[in-house]
Amino acid sequence: MGRELQKRKRRSSRAKVTMPTIRKKVLNPSGNGIIARNWDKKATLSQNYTRFGLVAKLGAPPSSSSSSSTPLSHTPTDRGLLSINEVKVERDPATGRILKVLSDPNPLGDPLNDIPSSSETSDIEDDGEEWAGLEDGRKKRKPIVVQELEREAARPTEPKKRHQSEREVEWLRDLVGRHGEDVEGMARDRKLNPMQQTAADIRRRLRKAGLLS
C-alpha cells in the first residue's frame, strides 16, 4: 500500500513549491547625479548617507555619536513638554479677576540659576567676544555632497513653455472652419469636441495658436 502512494506522489502533476533564491541587488540610486557619483556600492544605505551628511530615515532618533560630539550637549527626556502644576497670579481685590500671571524666574529648578553672573558681580563692562563653548570657534564645514545639493537646489529653474502639437492646431482649425469665432458653439459640438473642452479652454488654445484675436 505504501509503495502505491509513493508512486502516485511521483506521478502527481502538482509542481513542488520552492522559494526562489534571488540575491539582493546592490543599492545604486541614480535619481540624483550627485548622489550617484559619490555612492559607494560596497557600503550600506545608512553608511553612505552618514558619509554624505544626510539622514537615511526621516524621524529617526539622533545617534549617540552626534550628541557626544557636541560640547555640553544634553538630550531632554521630557520631549519639550513641561508639566506645570501651579502658577502664581495677581488678582484684582475688588473683582477677583486675574490681572497678570507672575512668571517663575527659575521654572526648571536649575541650581545654577541662584549663582550671580559675572555681570552682576562686576560693574566693568566686557566688550570682548562671547564665549562660544569648548570648540575653537571655527565653523564646521558641511560635507561636499551637502554643499553640491544645496547649490543645485538654489539654482533657478526656467519654466518650460508648452508648444502646441500639429494635431491640436489641426483640430482648432476644424473648429474655426465650422463655427468661425463662436467659441460657445465649439464647446457644444460633440463631434469635433468629443472631450468636451470648455469654451474658456478652447478660447485660450485658439489665441495661443493665433486663430482668434
pLDDT digits (tens, 9 = 90+) for 94-128: 887 888 877 666 666 666 666 666 555 555 444 44
Q: Which residue has the cell 484684582?
A: 92
User: If residue 91 lies in a helix (H) or strand (E), which one and from where to where?
Assistant: strand 88-91
pLDDT given at position 66: 47
Kindly state whether residue 182 falls inside one of the protein's structural domains: yes
Kindly state whether residue 16 falls inside one of the protein's structural domains: no
Lowest mean pLDDT among 61-70, 169-178, 196-205: 61-70
* Dihedral class, residue 96 (left if φ above 0, else alpha if ψ from -120 to 50, else beta): left
Residue ending a domain, choose from 9, 35, 59: 59
Kindly state whether residue 33 falls inside one of the protein's structural domains: yes
Kindly state whether residue 152 falls inside one of the protein's structural domains: no
Question: Which neighbouring-strand residues pair with 91?
Answer: 98
User: If residue 149 lies in a helix (H) or strand (E), which one and from where to where?
Assistant: helix 144-154
Residue ending a domain, choose from 16, 35, 59: 59
**Nearest residue to 206 (alpha-carbon basis) of 188, 184, 45:** 184
Kindly state whether residue 51 falls inside one of the protein's structural domains: yes
| Residue 41 belongs to domain spanning | 27-59
The residue type found at 87 is V
pLDDT given at position 168: 93
Residue ending a domain, choose from 38, 59, 80: 59
Asked if 69 and 62 touch (Cβ cutoff 8 Å), the reply is no
Asked if 98 and 90 touch (Cβ cutoff 8 Å), the reply is yes
Number of folded domains that form the chain: 2
